[in-house]
Structure 1
Amino acid sequence: MHKDTKIQLLAAGVLAIALGVSALLTTAVSAEAGRAQLGYADRIEDSDPPEVAVGIALGAFRGLFVNMLWMRANSLKEEGKFYESIELARTITRLQPHFPRVWAFQAWNMAYNISVATKTAEERWMWVKAGVDLLRREGIPRNPNDMQLHRELAWIFNHKIQGYADDANMYYKRRHAEEWTVALGAPPPRAATTEASTERYVRWLRNIAASPDTLAEAIRREPGVETLVRRIRDEVRLPLDANLLRAVEIHLALTDSWAAREGLVTLSEETRNDALMRLLTDDDLTEAWRMLLGHLRKRLVIDEYKMEFPRMIRYTRKYGPLDWRHPSSHALYWTLRGVEEGLARINISDWDQTNTDRLALQSVQELARFGDLQYSILDDTYSAMPSSDFIPVYGELLEELLERAAFFERQDRAFTLYALGYQNFLRDTVRFYYRSGDYELAEQYYERLRTWHGRNIDDPDFDLEQFTKPIAQFIQDDLEDRLISPNVALQEFDGAMRAGFQRGLLRGRRDVFDANARHARAVHEYYMAEQLRRTTIDPDAERMELFPRVFEDAAARSLVSLALGGQLGPEAVATIYRRAPLWLQQPAYDALVGALAGVSPAELDDSDPQGAAIARLFPEPPNMAEYRQLRRAQRDTDDRSRQEGVRTEQQ
C-alpha cells in the first residue's frame, strides 16, 4: 500500500473517532449549557430591535456582528448619545448574554451618565435604580461566577448611593432605606454589645428565611391566611407584593407614632387606607399577618433582589449587625459573593480579585463611619452616625484578605493600598475613640497604628516621628485641613457630644460637657460654612448635609442616638438628660419621649407604670409650648427660603 494512502486512511480513522466522540458528548454539553444558561438567543421577540434579527440570521458570524455593535455603542457613548448607546447595549445582551463587559457598560451608563443628565432627584434615582436592577436581576444571574459584575454592582451601592459625589445622594439614601424598610421591615434595636446586636439581627433574618415559600404553604401552616388574603383583595385592593408591604409599614409606623396621634403627621388621601388599618388592628388576624408578611418578604428578597438568606445570615454572623437599609451592607454582600463565586473559576484575574477585595474593605469602612442608621418611612427622615460595631471588623477582614492577596497587595511589597487604607482607618479610629472619651481604646489603636507589622515602608507621607507625639497632640495635628471630609466631621462632632454626655453630664462634670460641646459647635459651624451647598436637583437636602443645620438639633440627635443605641440604661440616659442645659433639653425632649415611650408628651399617663416612669425620668423642660411654636415658625420660614433659593438658582 502506498505511503500516502496509509496516511489518508489513518487520518480518516482519527476523523471518524473524533466525530463519534463529538456525537457522544454533544448531548451532555448541550444539557450543561442549558443548566448554566450559556445559550445564545435563537428566536426573535416582538420587542426586539432589528439588530437582533440580523444577529440571529448571521449564525456563526454573530460574534463579528456583536463586535461591530460594541464598537458602535462605545462611539455613541463617547459622543454623549447615552440613550442610543444603551439601546445598542441591550441588543448585545440579547444576542450574547454571557458577555459581562456589556452588562457593566450598560449599568454604568444608566447609573452615572444618563442619571446626571436628568433634572430632578426622582429621575436620577430612577436611572440609578435601573442600573442596579440590570446587574442584580439580569447580568449576574446570567453570569453568576463573574467577579467584575459583582464589583460593578457593589461600586454603585458604595460610591453612587452611599457616597457624596452626586448632588442627589441624600435622596438616593432615603429611597434605598425606604426600599429595604419595605422589604424586611424595620431592623431590631441595637443591644448593649456588638455580639448581642448581631444575634438579634441573625434571628430577625432567620425568621424571614423560615417563612413559607409559597402562599399555599402559608395557608397550610396558618389557615387564617386564606381569610386574610381574601379580605386584602376584596377590601384593601392591593396586590400581594411590595405595594402591600409598603402600605403595611407606613400604617404600622403611623400607629406607633405619637406625632401622628397628635395630628403633627398625617397621611395623604391616596396613601391612607382605612380598610388596611382595620385588618392590621384585628387581633384575630395577628398570626395570619405574621405568616403572610414573612412569606411576602422572603419572596421579594429572593425573586426581586436575587439575594440569598443563608448568605445574608452568614455574613451578618461573621461581620456584625448589617443594616440592609444601608447601601454599604449591600456593597459588602455583593463583593463577598463575587469573590466566593469567582474564585471557583480557573482563569480568575488577580486584578479582578484585588479590586473586589479592596471594595469589601471600603464597604466596612463606610459602615464604621455611617453604620448607625435611623430612618422613618412615615416622614422620610434619614440620619447616619458612626458605628463602633464595625471598627474591629476592618482589621479582621484585612487579615483575611492578606492571606489570599494577589501580587499587587502581597505583604512583602514595600507599598500597598491595603496598608495605606488601614493606616488611614486607624487614624480615624484613634481620633473617634479619643473624642468620644474612650481613652483606653484610643491608646490601644494608637499603639497599633505605631507598631502594625503591615505598615508601608516606602510611603513618602509616612513620618514615624508624628507617632511619637502624645495622643492629644497627634489628634490635633491630624485634624488640620480634614474637617471638610464628611466622615471626619461627623466622627469629631458625634465623638465630642458623646464624650460630653458620658464623661461630663453623667459624671456631674458640667465643665467637661461644656468643653466638648464647644468643640462640637466649632466643628458644626466650620463644616456647614465650608460644605453646605444648595442644589436644584434635591430641594429637600443639600449634597453634603450630614447634620441638621441648627447645632442644637444636631446635638439632640446625638443624644437620641445614644439613648437608642443600647449602650446605656434608661437611668443613665435620664441622668444625662436632666443635667443637660435647656438648649439641649428642649430639642431632645419630644424625640426622646416619642422614641422611648411611643407616645407624645401629652399622652403620658401617670397612672400607667411605664408612663409614670418616663415622666419621672424625663420631666418636660420649661416653656416647651412656646419653643414648639417658635420651631414650627422657623421651619416654615426655612422651607420658604429654600424653595425661593431653588427658584432663584433655576432662573
Structure 2
Amino acid sequence: MRLRDTIICLVCVVGAVVLLTAASSRLESINSARRQMGLVSNEPLENAPPSLAFATVAMGAFRGLVVDVLWMRADKLKEKGQFFDAKQLAEWISILQPRFAAVWDVLAWNMAYNISAAIPASQWQERWRWVRNGYELLRDKGIEKNPGRIILYRALAYIFQHKIGGVTDDCHKHYKRELALAMRGLLGEEPANEYFQRLSATKKTLSEITAEPDIAEFISAIKEADKAFEDNDELIGNYLSLRQTPDRFSESAFEVIDRFRGTEALDKFDTFAKAYRLRNTWKLKPELMDRLNKKYGPYSSGDPNDRLPLNWEHANTHAIYWAELGFMIAGEKEEYSIDEKNTDRIISHALQDLYRRGNLVVYPVPGELASVYSRPDLRMFEVCDKDWAKRIKKYEAFEHGNPKGLRDGHRNFLKNSVIDFYQTGNREKAGRIYQRLREVYPRDEFKDDMHTWVKKRIVDEIEEIKIKDATELTLMTLRDAYFSFAIRADDEAFGKERWAREVYEIYQAKYSDEEWRRLNLPDFEMIRFMAFLDFMRDRHFPEHLRNSLLGRIKVERPELFDRLQKQKDLFIQKTQQNQTQ
C-alpha cells in the first residue's frame, strides 16, 4: 500500500515538473505577444508616496491587491466629497492599470463633473479648466492606451454633449463660447466644404511642408524677423497666435505676414498650420470631419441637394465625431453591446440637439466677453428625420421586433417640426412635413388639413391656460421675434411675429365681444410694445445688442417704430391717469 502511494506521488511530481517546464517554455512568447498587443505596462509609478511605490514593486504580480485598496480608498474619498484627493488616487490607479478602461472613465468624470462643480460659478475659468482636463484625459491618454474600448469614446462624446452642449452647468455658456471661439480660430466663420477638403489634403508634418521652396522662403523670413519662431517645436503654435493676437510679437514678424499676404505660400502654410493644430491638439482628423459633413451636414435651404458642413463650433458636433470614431475603431460587427447602443444614442441625441439648439450665436460685445445664444437650426430637419428612420430600421433588425419607443419619438419629432416651421413662417415646408407625418403614421388625429390641425393644437393648449398665460405666450413669442430681428434672422422674426398674432386671434375667437370686453385683455399692439419694453430692459442681453435692435427698427421698419412710439405714449398716459385717481 505504501509502495503504491509512493509511486503515485512520484508520478504526480514528475507530471507537475513536466507541465511546469512546458508552461515556462511558452512564457516568453506569451509575454512577447502581450507586449505587442499592448496588454502590459511597465511605466514607473511617478509622484507616488514611497509606501505605495515600495508596495507596488515588492508585491510584483500581486499589485492587483494594491489597486483594490486604492479603489476602496478612492470611493471613500468621493463619498466624503474629497474629489481632489480621489483624483490623485485615480491617477495612480491609471498607471497601475492603464488597460482598464473604467479607470479613465471614472477619472475623467471626476474632473469634468465633480471637481468642476465644487468650484464657485464665479470662477468659470477654473471650472472650464477642469472640464477641459476631463475630456483631454480621455482623448489624449485613455483612448490612446485603449483604442479598442468603445466605452471611452462614449464617455468623451458624453462630456461634449451633456457637460458642454447641455444647460445643467451654471457656466455652460462660458464653455460653449470657449469651444466655439477655439474652433472659429481654426476654421473661420461658416467654412465651406472645400475648406475641409483643403485641410484634408495638406501636408501632415512641418518637414514635409517646408520642403516646398516657397514655404521655406516664408519660414526663413519669419524666423529672421522674430526669435520666437526659431524653435520648430513652437513655430506652428506661435504662427497661429501671431495671426490672432499680433500684439504679442514684434512688428517685423507681422510685416512678414503683410509681405506674403495674398501669396500661395502663406495660404498653404496657413491651411497646414490649422490642420496640424486640429490633428495634434484637438485630435480631429480633417478627412473624418469632411466625411461627417457629407453624412450629417444640414441641407441648404436654397438647394435641397446641397449639403453644408456641420457646425464645428457646437459641442454636439464634437460628440458626433467621437461617437462615430468609436464605432469605426472599436465597434463590433457581429455583436451589439450595451456600450454601443449608448454610443448610438449619443449620435441620435446630438443630431436632435443640433436641430433644437444648433444655431450658435456668438455675439461680440466691445470690451466684454462675447455673449452666447443657442437657437434652433431647422436646416437639420432632414438629417434628423433620416436618422430616425435609419435607427428604427436598425433596431428592428437587431432586436427582431417593433421598437415602439423609437417610433413614438419619431412621431413626436415630426409633430413638433410641423409647429416649428409653421411658427417661423415656412408654411410650405410645414405642409410637406405634415404630409409625411400622415403617410408614416396614419392616425385619426392627422385627418384634418395642416392649418386646421395646427389651430386645433393651439386651441387644445389654450383651453388649459388662463388669460394671463395667453397674454404671456403672445408676449414671449413677440419678444423672441425681437431677438431674431436683432441678430438679423429676419425671416424667423417675421414668422414669429405672424405666429404671435395668430395665437392672439385664436384666443380672442373663443369669446363673444361682450365677454372679450369683460376680460379686458390688452390689445395686440399694446402686447407688442410690452414685449419690446421687456426685451430692452432685459440685462441678459448686451446693451450693444439692444441698441442695435432699436437702431434697426428706426431705420428699416419705421412704421413699427411709429406704432411702438404711439403705444409708449398711451402707456405713459394710462400710468399718469392711474396715479391721479
Q: Same fold (TM over 0.5)?
A: yes
Per the TM alignment, residue 26 of structure 1 is displaced from its structure 2 partner at its CA by: 4.2
Aligned twin of 1:460: none
Distance 1:504 1:125 in 2: 34
Taking the TM superposition and a 5 Å limit, the aligned residue runs for 1:18-57 are 20=22, 23=25, 26-27=28-29, 29-45=30-46, 47-50=47-50, 51-57=52-58
Letter in 2 for 1:245: L
1:396 partnered with 2:380: no
Per the TM alignment, residue 102 of structure 1 is displaced from its structure 2 partner at its CA by: 1.8
1:333 partnered with 2:324: no
Distance 1:520 1:101 in 2: 60
1:356 partnered with 2:352: no
Distance 1:372 1:31 in 2: 52
Could you list the runs of 5+ residues in structure 2 that have no partner in the other structure? 298-308, 505-523, 563-581
Per the TM alignment, residue 125 of structure 1 is displaced from its structure 2 partner at its CA by: 0.7
Per the TM alignment, residue 234 of structure 1 is displaced from its structure 2 partner at its CA by: 4.3
Per the TM alignment, residue 489 of structure 1 is displaced from its structure 2 partner at its CA by: 7.3
Per the TM alignment, residue 288 of structure 1 is displaced from its structure 2 partner at its CA by: 2.9
Aligned twin of 1:83: 84
Q: Residues 32-57 of structure 1: CA distance to partner in whole angstroms, max 9, x if unpaired?
A: 53344322235344x34443453343
Aligned twin of 2:130: 127
> What SS does structure 2 have at the residue aligned with 1:405?
helix
Distance 1:397 1:186 in 2: 28
1:244 partnered with 2:239: yes
Aligned twin of 2:510: none
Taking the TM superposition and a 5 Å limit, the aligned residue runs for 1:380-395 are 381=370, 382-395=372-385
> What SS does structure 1 have at the residue aligned with 2:168?
coil
- Are 1:548 and 1:554, in contact at CA under 8 Å, matched by a contact in 2? no
Per the TM alignment, residue 135 of structure 1 is displaced from its structure 2 partner at its CA by: 0.9
Aligned twin of 2:282: 305
- Are 1:225 and 1:289, in contact at CA under 8 Å, matched by a contact in 2? no
> What SS does structure 2 have at the residue aligned with 1:144?
coil
- With over 3 angstroms needed to count, the CA separation of the structure-2 counterparts of 1:115 and 1:499, relative to structure 1, is closer
Distance 2:22 2:141 in 1: 37
Letter in 2 for 1:422: H
- Are 1:372 and 1:385, in contact at CA under 8 Å, matched by a contact in 2? yes
- Are 2:225 and 2:253, in contact at CA under 8 Å, matched by a contact in 1? no
Aligned twin of 1:367: 354
Q: Residues 515-564 of structure 1: CA distance to partner in whole angstroms, max 9, x if unpaired?
A: 5899999799889989x999xxxxxxx6xx7x98976756999x9xxxxx
- Are 1:42 and 1:56, in contact at CA under 8 Å, matched by a contact in 2? no
Distance 2:271 2:35 in 1: 33
Letter in 2 for 1:283: F
Per the TM alignment, residue 81 of structure 1 is displaced from its structure 2 partner at its CA by: 0.4
Letter in 2 for 1:360: I
Aligned twin of 1:61: 62
Aligned twin of 2:294: 317
Per the TM alignment, residue 401 of structure 1 is displaced from its structure 2 partner at its CA by: 2.6
Question: Structure 1 residues 399-408 or 384-393, which shifts more?
Answer: 399-408
Aligned twin of 2:569: none
Distance 1:446 1:216 in 2: 57
Letter in 2 for 1:109: N
- Are 1:236 and 1:275, in contact at CA under 8 Å, matched by a contact in 2? no
1:292 partnered with 2:269: yes
Taking the TM superposition and a 5 Å limit, the aligned residue runs for 1:370-519 are 370-375=357-362, 381=370, 382-405=372-395, 411-413=401-403, 415-416=404-405, 418-452=406-440, 465=445, 470-475=453-458, 477=460, 493=481, 501=490, 515=501
Q: Residues 555-609 of structure 1: CA distance to partner in whole angstroms, max 9, x if unpaired?
A: 999x9xxxxxxxxxxxxxxxxx986337789xxxxxxxxxxxxxxxxxxxxxxxx
Distance 1:522 1:7 in 2: 100
Equivalenced residues, count: 508
- Are 1:354 and 1:405, in contact at CA under 8 Å, matched by a contact in 2? no
- Are 1:181 and 1:325, in contact at CA under 8 Å, matched by a contact in 2? yes
Question: Structure 1 residues 521-530 or 89-98, which shifts more?
Answer: 521-530
Aligned twin of 1:186: 188
- Are 2:142 and 2:152, in contact at CA under 8 Å, matched by a contact in 1? yes
- Are 1:385 and 1:494, in contact at CA under 8 Å, matched by a contact in 2? no
1:168 partnered with 2:158: no
- Are 2:421 and 2:427, in contact at CA under 8 Å, matched by a contact in 1? yes
Coordinate RMSD, CA, aligned: 4.8
- With over 3 angstroms needed to count, the CA separation of the structure-2 counterparts of 1:494 and 1:384, relative to structure 1, is farther
1:152 partnered with 2:165: no
Aligned twin of 2:260: 283
Aligned twin of 2:511: none
Aligned twin of 1:206: 197
- With over 3 angstroms needed to count, the CA separation of the structure-2 counterparts of 1:431 and 1:19, relative to structure 1, is farther
- With over 3 angstroms needed to count, the CA separation of the structure-2 counterparts of 1:436 and 1:102, relative to structure 1, is same
Distance 2:112 2:538 in 1: 23
- With over 3 angstroms needed to count, the CA separation of the structure-2 counterparts of 1:125 and 1:501, relative to structure 1, is closer
Question: Structure 1 residues 68-77 or 83-92, which shifts more?
Answer: 68-77
- Are 1:44 and 1:52, in contact at CA under 8 Å, matched by a contact in 2? yes
Aligned twin of 1:94: 95
Aligned twin of 1:611: none
Distance 1:375 1:233 in 2: 37
Aligned twin of 2:558: 581
Distance 1:357 1:164 in 2: 22
Q: Residues 235-292 of structure 1: CA distance to partner in whole angstroms, max 9, x if unpaired?
A: 27363244531441356xxxxxxxxxxxxxxxxxx65763443222213783332233
Distance 1:157 1:520 in 2: 43
Distance 2:316 2:61 in 1: 43
- With over 3 angstroms needed to count, the CA separation of the structure-2 counterparts of 1:493 and 1:286, relative to structure 1, is same
- Are 1:435 and 1:499, in contact at CA under 8 Å, matched by a contact in 2? no
- With over 3 angstroms needed to count, the CA separation of the structure-2 counterparts of 1:88 and 1:503, relative to structure 1, is closer
- With over 3 angstroms needed to count, the CA separation of the structure-2 counterparts of 1:394 and 1:16, relative to structure 1, is farther
- With over 3 angstroms needed to count, the CA separation of the structure-2 counterparts of 1:248 and 1:500, relative to structure 1, is closer
- With over 3 angstroms needed to count, the CA separation of the structure-2 counterparts of 1:365 and 1:512, relative to structure 1, is closer
Distance 1:491 1:361 in 2: 31
Q: Residues 478-525 of structure 1: CA distance to partner in whole angstroms, max 9, x if unpaired?
A: 69899999xx9799749986999559989xxxx969958999997998
- With over 3 angstroms needed to count, the CA separation of the structure-2 counterparts of 1:282 and 1:32, relative to structure 1, is farther
> What SS does structure 2 have at the residue aligned with 1:281?
helix
- Are 2:425 and 2:494, in contact at CA under 8 Å, matched by a contact in 1? no
Distance 2:318 2:206 in 1: 28
- With over 3 angstroms needed to count, the CA separation of the structure-2 counterparts of 1:273 and 1:426, relative to structure 1, is farther
Q: Residues 361-416 of structure 1: CA distance to partner in whole angstroms, max 9, x if unpaired?
A: 11111211232334478965344432233211112222333344389977525x42
> What SS does structure 2 have at the residue aligned with 1:134?
helix
- With over 3 angstroms needed to count, the CA separation of the structure-2 counterparts of 1:421 and 1:552, relative to structure 1, is farther
1:228 partnered with 2:219: yes
Distance 2:8 2:218 in 1: 82
Aligned twin of 2:507: none
Q: Residues 139-180 of structure 1: CA distance to partner in whole angstroms, max 9, x if unpaired?
A: 111121222221221111111111122121111111101221
- With over 3 angstroms needed to count, the CA separation of the structure-2 counterparts of 1:168 and 1:512, relative to structure 1, is closer
- Are 2:45 and 2:95, in contact at CA under 8 Å, matched by a contact in 1? no
Distance 1:18 1:528 in 2: 87
Per the TM alignment, residue 207 of structure 1 is displaced from its structure 2 partner at its CA by: 0.9
- Are 1:178 and 1:325, in contact at CA under 8 Å, matched by a contact in 2? yes
Question: Structure 1 residues 513-522 or 319-328, which shifts more?
Answer: 513-522
Question: Structure 1 residues 328-337 or 143-152, which shifts more?
Answer: 143-152
Letter in 2 for 1:367: L
> What SS does structure 1 have at the residue aligned with 2:360?
strand
- Are 1:370 and 1:386, in contact at CA under 8 Å, matched by a contact in 2? yes
TM-score by length of 1: 0.65
- Are 2:209 and 2:215, in contact at CA under 8 Å, matched by a contact in 1? no
Aligned twin of 1:259: none
Q: Which structure has more helix as a fraction of its residues?
A: 2
Letter in 2 for 1:133: E
